[in-house]
A and B are shown apart, each in its own frame.
Chain A
């Protein structure tokens, strides 16, 4: 299994499913969920969490500031 070095938490009720973070992610970590939040938006989530490097590209483009990013060195 690939090394996990980053992880994000999406505030799923704030997310509007705009897809900008999905496109901005260089490691194809993110995708829009098939499920929707209470507003009916397909919120973003880590579909491939093992890919995340914690690069913060997703949080940089998010218009709704709903992504928190963590990064760690893991052996």
Chain B
């Protein structure tokens, strides 16, 4: 054992460091439940901001929802918006300070329910902002009520027998709808349930920030996410449930990319 301890000591040296917490995250312990996707996405945003060297040029707009406190963790300038209004607030900030990197960070209840109008019109105006959309198919913060994105048959506190389309309508694929708007420059759907997915999601977030600098329109990144508390599953089973049930309804990948040379071919016909 002491041989092993010596070997570990040999490895744990500054010159061998391959991963450490991003300096753009502060030391506050996040209030999120164990395993919550919000924490992973916060980290990816912080890492992208750090790697692009834009910490003092970035302004986030936090929502109402579990991530209402995003401003407590990512060490940049923030503005907290009223429920659903983050894209409108981000619009104002970006228009007054066009050289800053401005992003909204919103859950599905925020972005796709109460804030649907703000979401659509910000993208339709082609606001040069990044919108990060955490779709966990539920209102996490308020106790797991049905969201527009809740799956058919999914049990929530307001659909105890499962979402019934006759009563509750259909799961809203808001990302597909937004991709059809000419103001949308880059639209992608990602996830963060395993290391490969996390690395892809980080690339997508980085690209969204780079697209903002091109001033071509809105960059929209959906992250299909888990809410283990709302779903009443442990974090590992939540990831499995997400893969089995969420991905067929919300398939991963790029929906639109006008920064590509073949953008016109790639664009969804409106």
* Contacting pair B11 A61 (CB below 8 A): no
Q: B36 at interface (Cβ–Cβ under 8 A)?
A: yes
Identify which of A4, A60, A65, A70 contacts B195 (C-beta below 8 A): A60
* Interface size, A (range): 35 or more
Do A63 and B38 have beta carbons less than 8 Å apart? yes
Tell me if B29 counts as interface (CB < 8 A to partner A): yes
B11 CB contact (under 8 Å) in A20, A41, A71: A71
- B193 partner residues in chain A, CB cutoff 8 A: 61
B167: CB under 8 A from chain A?
A: no
Determine if A18 and B235 form an interchain contact, defined as CB atoms under 8 angstroms apart: yes
Interface size, chain B (Cβ < 8 Å): 38
Report A's interface with B, CB cutoff 8 A: 1, 4-7, 9, 13-14, 16-20, 23-24, 41, 49-50, 54, 56-57, 59-72, 74
**Is A50 touching B4 in the complex (CB atoms < 8 A)?**
yes
Give the residue of B11, B234, B239 whose beta carbon is less than 8 angstroms from that of A72: B11
Chain B residue numbers with a CB within 8 Å of A64 are 29-30, 39
Given A6-B11, A23-B236, A63 contacting B17 (CB threshold 8 A): no
Residues from 58 to 110 in B contacting A, C-beta threshold 8 Å: none
